[in-house]
Structure 1
Amino acid sequence: MWTHKYKLQMNEFNLATEVRGLVREAQNILSTTQDVTLAINTLDRISCLLPEIQCRQTTDFPETVVTPVKEEFAKHHYTRFCDFLLQNLTCDWFKKLAKVQKYSFDVFFINGVHHEAFLLLCKYVQQSSSNFQLAKYTSLLEEFIDGHKMAKLILSQCHIDKTIDTLSKTSRNLVWDHLITVIATFPDRMANKLQRETKKLFYPENYFKILAKDTLQVLYVLYGEMKESRDCVISFISQLLGKICIQGYTDTYMGILLPRFIQLTQDDFIWQRLCCNIITRVPEIYLDCLMEYLLQNLPWYGTVSKLIGDSVLTNQKLTYIMTQKCLLLRHYQKELILHNIIGYLAHSTSRHGLFIETLKMLFDVWSDSSALKHTSYEQHLYITKAILIALGHVNEGKMKTYKEVFMTKMMNGMQCHLDSPLMKIRRLGMIVAESLTQIIDSNSSPLKFEYQSDDESDHLISLLKPPEDPGIEDVTNNFSHCNLEEEDSACKAGVEQPTISDKMINMDDELDSDDDIEPYDMSADTKDSNTKQPMYIRDCMQGLVTQDDPERVQACLTVAEKLVRANPDNLSEICVEFVKLLLHTQDSYGMNNFTHLRHSAMVAITVHCPIQVAVYLTEEFFSRNYNIRQRMDILEVLASASQELSQPDKVLQSEAKTSIESWTSQYKDAPTNLVKNWREIVQERIESKTRRFSQKSHKQKATPVPNRFAPVAGYFFFPLLKKYDMSMSTLNLLNQDYLLLGRLIYTLGVIMHAAINTTCCHQMASSLLEFLWVVRYHSEAFVRQAILFSLSMVVLTIPSYSLVTTLQSDVIEFKQWLQDIIEKDPDTECKKLAIQT
């Protein structure tokens, strides 16, 4: 019934009509017949129309029209016929097909039009409610992926048709969007549907590894076509790559592709062109994620140049990512990204102009005082590293052309950095200034600053040396055997212990040495001095005034604290004069521990005469004729003295204990009725008759002593709040003297905590909160950190019931401010302190 109709000449019927009739008749047979043999034969006849199937029997069409018939079926009938098969797939119907004839059904999805089959199977997996159907769809998808049919799917989308019109391109783009979304989200879709029954092949780490290998297989085919000058489309691969990256599976997918890219592009220009087109044609919304991964994982900037070429000059999105976003708007822990970006821009004559413009942009941000205040230290350190790495890639000859430009930017930045209250910020400015001046003019005497070196500063200076090419073997090994090599190197890096014979040889060498006499340890020896130390406070004061005898000044300053603490009786008469003398004493002779000795002496005087000295120091803090160092010394003395006064005095404790013991020993031999009353006698008799099954605690009770800071706390605290808003030529706390403002707020917090459990702490807390509220939005991070510290001291000092009653409104307002700090403050330390508070 089939042959008489289709063995006609092609000029007697229309090809599209006959194919449509054949498909409809097959659908009618499959939906009504109960004959298994007829159903299998019908499926086999239709399967002969699949593009990849070679007919196992004589076809119903002449050999001359087989190719157009297959194209007609694949273009207009394949999707509907497969949809018909999946809709009618039931357990009873499928049982009609023998197991040996399973191929007759599966072939339509495994060897058909791959992208249509994949989309249909994914669609029916999501819609299926029958366990049998779901299991069948899942097994087909598993066979599809495990059989590497995804490679043919991707390859089919890379073949171009030059006759395609604009409308067809639009529809193709719509199909691509849907297909790419399904491919990139396939593991998530299957996990949502199958839950705990998800196949291991559908796990992201397994699925994307197979997909990456299939993609690499397609790239080999495209490489061959490009080598033979045949056109192909790689936009589908680029879009798929970008979609996978934005889904969060970049490491798994690119972990397979990137090592091969590095190896293949080493010496092959065609591979370089192919990889460059794939990477740079990724859609802009995905390009950021991909470039971030590449820049963090490519081991050398030369490899970056081979993978993307000069695309940074033509692709605006790529230019923005590499010159602004990854340098100015973000910061990374890995410095490799900076080495890759800057090395890529610097080592090419065509990109050298962009490199200079990028370096100027980095210097503009680095030298901007507003940017320095409103960015975190980590971000500013990141920009500083970028500048130092860039300076390592330029030579003296090229920099002379831009000498005036960069020197002007450097001088502006130096002023901002040296004005910072943080030493680490000032040190960044010094290191950059030293490096820039050394590169611009290496012949002249280099600029040199004095700063304390540590691991961070040494590392920053080491960035001036560009990294070397690690070599292709090391690169591929680092990608494929990273963990194993690290473990092996860690094992091999162990230092061999010397044997017994080695130790004996070393010991013999030591015994044979000419230095038989061991030298004395003279590290703790002190220099003999003919100057006698003063025995009285007034002699000490007189010695400090001496200008032409540094040894006497040293001796007087050394014993000043001891004299004050040993003879505090007559100190009240001269305490203010003594503190004034110490405050104005300068280290004119470079003495050892000068700052510590002077500070300790002033604290000792303040502790023994708190009212007189506190009144004097708080008044002098706002006086005109003092520099910043002296004002900071005043704040440090007040803070240290308040802390010492708030602690129990050991002398008072020992005196109280001694008085009790002396009274007891005085009446030890007296009659019992003189020492003990009748209650004590009864209690002793009860204790002697009582049996206890646990040992009595032998912990000695603390001896109560009076709080020395309670009556004087107000003299330390309130005068410091009296004139904070005053403005004069030598002091302006609310403007340029923010360093002093921060130290003042820190000091107020320390005094606040020292006044815990005192009668005036509530009033102090209210006044401090009012002051903090005025300066809470200060532009300097150092001041904001001080505010957070003082606020936490208020919370720790004031009882909780007072915080929710008398200070409730202030607490609610500051709570909202803390929330703003956590969400919006650019400084990382401020965020940490706000969370803690």
Structure 2
Amino acid sequence: MLTLHHFVLQYFIASPRSMFVDKFLLWKVFPVSCLKWILQFAVCECPPSTSLPGQNRPGLLKTVQRLLATWSKKEFVQTAPIEQQAYITAALGLSLETMSKEELDGMKEATHLILQGVSGRLESPNHLVRKMASSIALAFSKIIDPKNPLYLDDSCNGETIDWTFGFTDLKKGTLTASNSRKNGVEETDISTISGSERESDSLPNKEKDISLKGKKKLLDFNVLDPDEIVDPVSLNLELDINDEDDGDDSASENSYSSSDSSLQPYDLSDDDSDLKRKLSQLSDVVAALRKSDDADGVERALDVVEKLIRASPDELKHAARDLTRTLVQVRCCDIALEGEEESTEDKRQRALIALAVTSPFESLDTLHNLLYSPNVDISQRIMILDVMTEAAQELAESKITKPKHKTSSLVSVVSDTRPWFLPSSTGTPGAGSWKEISGTGTFLNWSNSYERELPSKPYQVKKGKTRRWSLKSPASEQDLMEYSHNKFPMYAAAFMLPAMEGYDKKRHGVDLLGRDFIVLGKLIYMLGVCMKSAAMHPEASVLAPSLLDMLRSREVCRHQEAYVRKAVLFAAACVLVALHPAYVSSALLEGNVEISNGLEWIRTWALDVADSDTDKECYTMAMTCLQLHAEMALQTSRALESARSSFRASPTLRSDASKMTVKIPYLNGS
């Protein structure tokens, strides 16, 4: 009887514990504090208040084996919500911290599963997923060799590992991250896509070398004076001038009026910097960049190349292709000093952006050839797409300066008693009176000339002053105004069409639909930015069907990686923003079903993503797509009504035009 009672008691105790292990470790998501209690009570079978590892070591090893079997699967990383991935990673990490090397060696394929899961997560573009891999790798290395822990992430540099991964709040059964997650496509807020795009950090990629961290804002550049004469050699000197203080600048300006005794002696000792050749031609820059064994020469070339390109010399058109290829092939990690790799990468990327802006057709032709070339690696492909993205944005947001339009009164008020033929007395204060200049003495001279003396300016230095003379009248900054001038639409086809060709072909070293899904996401994001940059222009209406055909392919819109699906949603939203409602209505009236089918696909696919996708950001972006589609459909319906009222009696109006309208979501149960 005692044995039966003991068996029943053990059953009722073991049943809740098995429920905790089966349900609360693999299916549910709880805070880390609750997770620790579950591991102590259900797995280690020790009181929750104690810190001992417990006596049920076989149960712990069995639980770790089950967690590893789930955690190491690639499908789990692709389909499971990020909160559940963080929860199971924390459970596995907390369990590994209590294990010894002997216990780990005794488990079947434990080391293989850990390495498989770590390597699979390190390839993810999601920073949080990579942080999970580095945390498990650190816990695993402490078991193998406690004296030499393996740090794959800068955030994992302490003795203890933060298994919360920034998830601190429990709200409505799900965890919310307290820190900003970096798993979006360029972290672009799709809800504000029709407005200004927020500043984005770099996309986390496979390795630290691959990642172009610190994604730069759009390059701010001053509009050059067309009459200004630019000396390319002086561009090299600007680097040194920028490092000087304002006081030194003012002192140099007054050096002309100073006496000879105040001149500083010049050091005539040997200085290697004086002996270095100044790079003033693009051909010299290309030659210096090709000398990979001369790190200093490559650095000097990268320092000056952007300024030379922005100056738009005559040789740029002929050297653009060669310079573009050379810049892409430069290995910045080999020439830069330790810790300065990002600065060197930044110089190279800004130079490529300047090339794509100042010489688009020549540089884009080379960039597209290199994009699918087997001779470049994944980091170079990502850099090429980043360059094209920022170049498109810079072209779309370029500015020009024009003089302000001043309206003058049609009726003049005469308040001066001087004769009408004399010049106006308004002008520089302190100027003398007008005096007539005697003519040439011929009878054919019907005009009178006048002159007057002008006072010298207090800051004007007569000695050593250089002036530039031109036909252009000087205009002060107050008389100039900046205007936006979108230069991108004329280059939109050159940006987009070659990039969309061959993305689905598997070549040697190139597999965008499979292994290189990060490049595919970057490519789709770049195409979306290009479409947004050409918004409300005729070029957007021409290029939209081709982009929609690419997005509709099953390998793209149904991609296993959420990163690619988010890129597709972003590009689809850009199409909705870029198309003018008047064009959509005219396409419907003319019977162009291509654009209407594409827009209808966006609606149905966004509904499907919002209903079935496990990624929360995909859900949010899909709902935003539906909202943009509804707004565009409303504007298109108004344009159709206006067309019907204007051309009701026109024989060109199709009889079935009313059947080809764009559906508005959630209207009449649709």
One-letter amino acid of the counterpart of residue 423, structure 1? H
| Structure 1 residue 400, shift from structure 2 partner | 4.1
Match of 2:307 among 548, 552, 562: 562
State the secondary structure of the residue aligned to 1:615: helix
- Does residue 1:378 correspond to 2:75, yes or no? no
Q: Deviations over 1:510-552 (max 9, x none)?
A: xxxxxxxxxxxxxx89999554542222222222122333222
Match of 1:365 among 70, 76, 81: 70
- Cα separation, partners in 2 of 1:727 and 1:337, compared to 1, 3 Å: same
Q: Aligned partners of 2:494 and 2:95: how far apart in 1?
A: 55
Larger Rg belongs to: 1
Aligned residue for 1:354?
59
Residues 338 and 389 of structure 1 are in contact (CA less than 8 Å); yes or no, is this contact kept in structure 2? Answer: no
Residues 32 and 163 of structure 2 are in contact (CA less than 8 Å); yes or no, is this contact kept in structure 1? Answer: no
Match of 2:395 among 642, 645, 654: 645
Q: How does 1:423-822 map to 2 (within 5 A)?
A: 423-442=127-146, 445-446=148-149, 448-453=150-155, 461-463=161-163, 529=273, 531=276, 533-587=278-332, 588-591=334-337, 592=340, 593-649=343-399, 653-654=400-401, 656-657=402-403, 682=410, 707-774=486-553, 775-802=556-583, 805=588, 807-822=595-610
Q: Aligned partners of 1:388 and 1:376: how far apart in 2?
A: 18
- Does residue 1:339 correspond to 2:41, yes or no? no
State the secondary structure of the residue aligned to 1:760: helix
| Structure 1 residue 702, shift from structure 2 partner | 6.1
State the secondary structure of the residue aligned to 1:328: coil
State the secondary structure of the residue aligned to 1:603: helix
TM-score of the aligned structures, taking structure 2 as reference length: 0.59
Q: Aligned partners of 1:683 and 1:360: how far apart in 2?
A: 93
One-letter amino acid of the counterpart of residue 625, structure 1? N
Residues 359 and 387 of structure 1 are in contact (CA less than 8 Å); yes or no, is this contact kept in structure 2? Answer: yes
Q: How does 1:107-506 map to 2 (within 5 A)?
A: 314-315=14-15, 318-332=16-30, 334-344=31-41, 345-348=43-46, 351-402=56-107, 405-442=109-146, 445-446=148-149, 448-453=150-155, 461-463=161-163
Q: Deviations over 1:447-469 (max 9, x none)?
A: x2432327xx86971459xxxxx
Q: Aligned partners of 2:412 and 2:75: how far apart in 1?
A: 76
Q: Aligned partners of 1:681 and 1:463: how far apart in 2?
A: 74
5+ residue gaps, structure 1 = 1-272, 282-308, 465-523, 665-675, 686-698
Q: Aligned partners of 1:722 and 1:426: how far apart in 2?
A: 32
Q: Aligned partners of 1:624 and 1:459: how far apart in 2?
A: 43
| Structure 1 residue 359, shift from structure 2 partner | 1.3
State the secondary structure of the residue aligned to 1:461: coil
Q: Aligned partners of 2:55 and 2:11: how far apart in 1?
A: 11
One-letter amino acid of the counterpart of residue 797, structure 1? A
Q: Aligned partners of 1:312 and 1:808: how far apart in 2?
A: 63
Q: Aligned partners of 2:616 and 2:159: how far apart in 1?
A: 22
State the secondary structure of the residue aligned to 2:153: coil
More helix by share: 1
Q: Aligned partners of 2:569 and 2:152: how far apart in 1?
A: 32
| Structure 1 residue 312, shift from structure 2 partner | 7.1
One-letter amino acid of the counterpart of residue 498, structure 2? P
TM-score of the aligned structures, taking structure 1 as reference length: 0.48
Q: Aligned partners of 1:538 and 1:647: how far apart in 2?
A: 30
| Structure 1 residue 604, shift from structure 2 partner | 0.6
State the secondary structure of the residue aligned to 1:329: coil
- Cα separation, partners in 2 of 1:347 and 1:759, compared to 1, 3 Å: same
One-letter amino acid of the counterpart of residue 777, structure 1? R
Q: Aligned partners of 1:525 and 1:376: how far apart in 2?
A: 53
- Pick 1 or 2: higher relative contact order, CA cutoff 8 A, min separation 6: 2
Residues 618 and 720 of structure 1 are in contact (CA less than 8 Å); yes or no, is this contact kept in structure 2? Answer: yes
Q: Which moved further from structure 2: 812-821 or 714-723?
A: 812-821
Residues 414 and 429 of structure 1 are in contact (CA less than 8 Å); yes or no, is this contact kept in structure 2? Answer: yes
| Structure 1 residue 789, shift from structure 2 partner | 1.2
State the secondary structure of the residue aligned to 2:376: coil
Q: Aligned partners of 1:760 and 1:768: how far apart in 2?
A: 12
Aligned residue for 1:63?
none
Residues 579 and 605 of structure 1 are in contact (CA less than 8 Å); yes or no, is this contact kept in structure 2? Answer: yes
Residues 533 and 556 of structure 1 are in contact (CA less than 8 Å); yes or no, is this contact kept in structure 2? Answer: no
Please give the root-mean-square deviation of Cα atoms over the aligned residues, in Å: 3.4
Q: How does 1:48-59 map to 2 (within 5 A)?
A: none
Count residues with an aligned counterpart.
432
| Structure 1 residue 828, shift from structure 2 partner | 1.9
Q: Aligned partners of 1:355 and 1:615: how far apart in 2?
A: 59
| Structure 1 residue 399, shift from structure 2 partner | 3.5
- Cα separation, partners in 2 of 1:683 and 1:730, compared to 1, 3 Å: farther
Q: Aligned partners of 2:26 and 2:63: how far apart in 1?
A: 10
Aligned residue for 2:254?
none
Q: Deviations over 1:101-153 (max 9, x none)?
A: xxxxxxxxxxxxxxxxxxxxxxxxxxxxxxxxxxxxxxxxxxxxxxxxxxxxx
Q: Deviations over 1:277-301 (max 9, x none)?
A: 9xxx9xxxxxxxxxxxxxxxxxxxx
Residues 803 and 811 of structure 1 are in contact (CA less than 8 Å); yes or no, is this contact kept in structure 2? Answer: no
Q: Deviations over 1:173-194 (max 9, x none)?
A: xxxxxxxxxxxxxxxxxxxxxx
State the secondary structure of the residue aligned to 1:740: helix
One-letter amino acid of the counterpart of residue 394, structure 1? M
State the secondary structure of the residue aligned to 1:639: helix
One-letter amino acid of the counterpart of residue 601, structure 1? A
| Structure 1 residue 366, shift from structure 2 partner | 0.7
- Does residue 1:826 correspond to 2:614, yes or no? yes
Residues 312 and 319 of structure 1 are in contact (CA less than 8 Å); yes or no, is this contact kept in structure 2? Answer: no
Aligned residue for 1:124?
none
Q: Deviations over 1:156-179 (max 9, x none)?
A: xxxxxxxxxxxxxxxxxxxxxxxx
5+ residue gaps, structure 2 = 47-53, 165-242, 246-270, 414-477, 626-670
- Cα separation, partners in 2 of 1:364 and 1:571, compared to 1, 3 Å: same
- Cα separation, partners in 2 of 1:361 and 1:641, compared to 1, 3 Å: same
Aligned residue for 1:36?
none
